[in-house]
């Protein structure tokens, strides 16, 4: 734990918010098409004052392609990290991530079906997102009810049924890919995760859900703290651990499903960001949730900015960047913490 006092912790939050804002402004200046900073600033000011002094296509690139994409990366980063934090507490398992309960494979199957079955393309372009969400939420619920016995939810059976369900659905996707080899590239690319298709209408869905999720989750921060002590301990403190787990699981799964359906599958964010901030601010979820949420946004935006500007004419899948940046960083951190303990 690096930030020890309350003041330090609050200052840290302010610093993260400022950092995120600076990064957002910075990211708008980067992209496949070179747009001078002056133009970017003018376009943003024009947006505020309702003027149109820059050519239409450049304006479209900044306002309708870059900014939604940047905000989407922040949103998804926040969602994944928030979910990761809560899952890790509920399962008392440091390996828990937003995809644990079959969320990602459910989303992938939903997206695959939407890509393959013309009758499902009623929502047009949005169909893939809608069906990815339906797939994710359905799978998560099935896993949840599979693991539930009576009123009890055992962590082990949740993890097990999550893993089994994931393998089962992945097998179905592979089977579908073999029968529809023409669409293999589309399906495969979907599973890699990207913010390429981000748009304002996608954001209109993601922002309120993130807002509600964050708001509700912050109410449960104390409950999450208690869960870390174990079910019996929680019970003795007058908290129904099963009930708390159920509420948090359901909310988290919805958030994870939204994130996956927006961007495809982006690994590592939900796993490492919460751990990183746990090392910095400690396990108290009243702070950790805020830190992890903001930090997830910063981290994924950083990765996406690198993903789309590192190579001049190609984009690196953002999931590749999250892993390449995240893993070594995490290893160093882990090593240092271990050193500190010894």
Partner 1 sequence: MKKKWLALIVVAAMLLGTMGTGFAATAAIESSDAAAEYQIIVINDRSLIAVSDIISLGYDVVQNGKFIDIKDSTTNFLFELGSRVVGVNEIEVKIDAAPIKNGNESYIPMAFFFEVLNYEVSWNQTLGKIEIEKRADTLYPVKIESFGFVYDCAKPAKTISSTAPSVTELLFSIGAGERIQTRSSYCDYPAQASQIPAAGSLYDPSIEVIVAAAPEVLIAQTHFKPEVLVQLTKAGIDVVAVESPSTIDGMVALVKQLGVITGNEAEARALATSMEQRVQRTRNLVKNVQRPNVYYVVGTGQWGEYTATSDTFINDVMQTAGLNNVAANATGWKYSLEKLVEQDPESILGGAYNLDTMRTSENYAILTAVQNNQLFDIDENVYSRPALRIIDVGIPELLKLFHPDLDRSLIE
Contact set with partner 1 (CB under 8 A): 31-33, 56-58, 60-61, 64-66, 121, 124-126, 128-129, 181, 185-186, 189-190, 192, 194, 196-197, 199-201, 264, 308, 313-315
Cβ(222)–Cβ(289) below 8 Å: no
User: Which one, 19 or 47, has the nearer CB to partner 1?
Assistant: 47
Q: Minimum CB separation from partner 1 for residue 52, in Å?
A: 13
Q: Which is nearer to partner 1, 3 or 262 (CB)?
A: 262
What is the Cα 28 distance to its own chain's centre? 21
Read off the tokens for 209: 């859900």
State the minimum distance, in angstroms, from the CB of residue 190 to partner 1.
6
Cα-to-chain-centroid distance, residue 32: 24
DSSP 59-108: HHIIIIIIHHHHHHHHHHHHHHHHHHHHHHHHTT-TT--TTTTSHHHHHH
How many other C-beta atoms are found inside a 10 Å radius of the C-beta of residue 49?
9
275/308 with CB nearer partner 1 = 308
Q: Tokens 């303990």 correspond to what residue?
A: 341
For residue 50, the minimal CB distance to partner 1 (Å) is 18
* Of 122, 84, 118, the residue nearest 252 (C-alpha): 84
Q: Name the residue nearer to partner 1 (CB basis): 126 or 330.
A: 126
CB neighbour list of residue 185: distance below 8 Å, 6 or more residues apart: none
Nearer to partner 1, 1 or 171 (CB): 171
The minimum distance between CB 298 and partner 1, in angstroms, equals 23
Strand partners for 149: 152
Residue 152 forms beta bridges with which residues? 149
**148, β-bridge pairs:** 153
Cα gap 243→338, rounded to integer Å? 35
CB of 88 to partner 1, least distance (A): 28
Q: How far is the CB of 165 from partner 1 (least distance, A)?
A: 24
Nearer to partner 1, 61 or 324 (CB): 61
Which of these, 75, 95, 12, lies nearest to 299 by C-alpha position?
Answer: 75
Cα 188 to Cα 96, 191, 194, distances in angstroms:
24, 5, 12
Q: Tell the smallest beta-carbon distance from residue 3 to partner 1 (Å).
A: 38
- Which residue, 92 or 204, is less far from partner 1 as judged by CB? 204
Cβ proximity to partner 1: between 187 and 251 the closer is 187
What's the CA dihedral at 222, 225, 231, 236 to 10 degrees?
-60
Q: Phi first, then psi: give them for residue 25, nearest 5 degrees.
A: -60, -40
Least distance between partner 1 and beta carbon 226 (Å): 40
Q: What are the beta bridge partners of residue 153?
A: 148
């Amino acid at each position: 734990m690096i930030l020890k006092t309350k003041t330090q912790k609050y200052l840290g939050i302010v610093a993260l918010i400022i950092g995120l804002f600076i990064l957002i402004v910075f990211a708008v200046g980067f992209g496949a098409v070179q747009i001078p900073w002056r133009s970017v600033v003018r376009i943003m000011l024009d947006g505020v004052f309702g003027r149109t002094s820059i050519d239409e296509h450049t304006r479209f690139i900044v306002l309708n392609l870059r900014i939604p994409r940047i905000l989407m990366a922040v949103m998804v980063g926040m969602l994944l990290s928030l979910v990761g934090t809560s899952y890790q507490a509920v399962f008392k398992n440091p390996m828990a991530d937003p995809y644990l309960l079959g969320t990602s494979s459910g989303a992938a199957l939903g997206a695959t079906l939407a890509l393959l079955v013309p009758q499902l393309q009623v929502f047009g372009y949005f169909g893939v997102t809608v069906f990815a969400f339906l797939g994710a939420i359905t799978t998560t619920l099935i896993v949840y009810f599979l693991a539930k016995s009576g009123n009890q939810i055992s962590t082990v059976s949740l993890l097990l049924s999550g893993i089994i369900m994931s393998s089962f659905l992945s097998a179905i996707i592979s089977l579908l890919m073999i029968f529809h080899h023409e669409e293999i590239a589309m399906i495969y690319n979907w599973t890699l995760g990207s913010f390429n298709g981000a748009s304002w209408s996608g954001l209109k869905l993601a922002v309120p859900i993130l807002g509600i999720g964050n708001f509700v989750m912050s109410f449960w921060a104390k409950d999450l703290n208690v869960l870390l002590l174990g079910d019996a301990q929680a019970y003795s403190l007058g908290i129904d651990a099963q009930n708390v787990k159920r509420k948090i699981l359901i909310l988290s799964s919805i958030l994870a499903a939204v994130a996956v359906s927006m961007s495809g599958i982006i690994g590592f964010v939900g796993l490492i960001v919460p751990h990183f901030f746990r090392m910095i601010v400690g396990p108290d979820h009243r702070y950790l949730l805020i830190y992890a949420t903001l930090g997830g946004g910063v981290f994924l935006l950083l990765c996406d900015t690198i993903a789309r500007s590192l190579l001049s004419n190609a984009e690196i899948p953002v999931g590749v960047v999250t892993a390449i940046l995240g893993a070594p960083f995490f290893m160093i951190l882990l090593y240092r913490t271990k050193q500190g303990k010894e």
